[in-house]
Every structure is written in structure tokens, then in C-alpha cells.
Copies of this chain bind each other. A is one copy, B any other.
Amino acid sequence: MQRYFIQTNAIQGSKIIITGQDYHHIKNVMRMKLGNQVMVCTEKGQSYLAEIIAYTDTEVLLSTINQLQEQVELPVMVTIAQGMVRREKTEEVIRRISELGASSYVSVMMERSIVKIKENDNKKITRYQMIAKEASEQAHRTKIMTVMEPMLFTDFLHQIKQYDLCLVAYEEQGRANDRSLPRVLKGFTGKTILIVIGPEGGFGASEIKSLATTTAKLVGLGPRILRTETAPLYLMSAISYHYELGETNEN
């Protein structure tokens, strides 16, 4: 069933009003008729089954049938922080980690990033956020992943302590046969995880040094060298595997 994300204030009693792009999608792309049903999710993670009861020139009016009890969100909130890479790679990562259940994404300007933070990044963020929304909808999530404004590495370092756990995917740990990841996840009882991934070419030596002075843990992702756009998918999959399929999952 088609699902749409709405602002909580679009719900008025048992009625829901949808405007803008979603209105266009329902009316002109999906060509839904009165009586057709859709799934509607609020930014707070509530979801409803609703029926189309009227169209105006700019709005579609729905009536809620019932609220749905779904647990499709990861029991932990995962933020992926990635060394800034080209737009196409960023979009690819945003699309996949939205599907895989991440809560937010931020590009961090690192030493080896070949792209820089620019004045007109706002437009990019809007586009990234749209991709995150579409991928979240397709994955049948009840929350949309947030795309944050890009950050300088030095500013980013100060953010780390806000998270209950920070994992740095470091290829040298992988080569050195580091197997700490499952142990770290098993011992973790917090709610927020920050994952740090280098840009193409990896972290600079001084960046790894700086990260090591924080609460961040350097972890390996196996003996093969993963590209910067593959490492986030590995970690998101591992986290889902651990929390959502794992036998020891207490959530």
C-alpha cells in the first residue's frame, strides 16, 4: 500500500488534509479514486490507514480508518557521518541507509574529501532530504531519515560526546583482524549510535589521532577494503542483524 509522510498538524480529528507534492502524487501519479486507501505516517512515527473522501484543486481529504501498530524502526537511533564525497555517491548512500533504518546522515569535510562545503549546499540538502523521504516511504518506515547540514571536521569532533556510542569504521582495524564490533554492540545499552566513515582515500592520520582522543571506538569491518559508500551499508546491515534478528535482542 502506498504510504505518505505528513506533518502532525495535517491531522484534524479523524480527517487528514494532504497538499503539495503528495497531493500531486496521489491524484495525478497514482490516480487514486475516492474510497482508495493509503497509509499515512506522521513525523512522530504514528501511522494510520486512511481513505480518500474528497479532492479539491489543491488538496486531498482523507478520513482515518484506524491507527496502525507497527514496529518497523530500529530500536537504536543511528547517525551516519561520512567524509564528504561527490553528490552521486552521497545520494546513493542516503538512499540505501534510509532503507536500512538510519535516523540521520551528515557529511563531514575531511582532509581527503575532494569536494568542499559550498554556499549553495542548501539546494543539495533539500534534494538529499527528498531522496531520504522517498526511500523511507518505499522501505515502509514510519520515520523519515534526517539529512543534516554538512560540517567541518573540527566542529564534528565536538558532537561525538552527544551520542551514547561512536564507532569509527577504520580499514587498518579490519586488516588487523579486529573483531570487536559484535562485542561492542552486545555490551551497548544506550539508544544513540554515531558511525563515522572516511571519504574516498580514508581518514587522514591526524583525523584518526583526533578521533582516538574522543570516546569513539575504532572498529574493523572484516579483512576486505570497503569503499566509502559500502561501509555504511555494512554497518547498518550489521546493526539490523544484531538488533532485529539477533537472538539476544531484548528490545
Given A221-B245, A223-B244, A237-B241, 13 additional A-B pairs, CB 8 A: A71-B223, A100-B224, A139-B225, A139-B226, A179-B245, A179-B246, A182-B247, A221-B240, A222-B241, A230-B233, A233-B237, A235-B237, A238-B245
What are 8 contact pairs spanning A and B, CB under 8 A?
A99-B224, A99-B230, A141-B224, A179-B247, A222-B244, A223-B244, A234-B241, A237-B237
**B223 pairs with A72, CB closer than 8 A:** yes
**B181 pairs with A241, CB closer than 8 A:** yes
Chain B residues with CB under 8 Å of A238's CB are 237-238, 241, 245
Residues from 51 to 104 in A contacting B, C-beta threshold 8 Å: 70-72, 96, 99-101
| A183 vs B247: C-alpha distance when bound (angstroms) | 8
What's the dominant secondary structure at chain A's contact region? loop
Integer count of this chain's copies in the complex: 2
| A29 vs B21: C-alpha distance when bound (angstroms) | 47
Which of B72, B226, B249 is in CB contact (< 8 Å) with A100?
B226
Interface size on A, residues (CB 8 A): 37
Distance to closest chain B CB from A225 (angstroms): 5
| A71 vs B174: C-alpha distance when bound (angstroms) | 12
**A96 pairs with B247, CB closer than 8 A:** no
0/1 per residue, A143-186, Cβ < 8 Å to B?
A: 00000000000000000000000000000000000010111000
Chain B residues with CB under 8 Å of A221's CB are 240, 245
Tell me whether A99 and B226 are in contact in the complex, defined as CB-CB below 8 angstroms, given that A237-B234, A240-B234, A241-B237 are known contacts: yes
Decide if A217 is an interface residue (CB 8 Å cutoff).
no
Distance to closest chain B CB from A223 (angstroms): 4
Distance to closest chain B CB from A92 (angstroms): 8
Decide if A138 is an interface residue (CB 8 Å cutoff).
yes
Decide if A220 is an interface residue (CB 8 Å cutoff).
yes
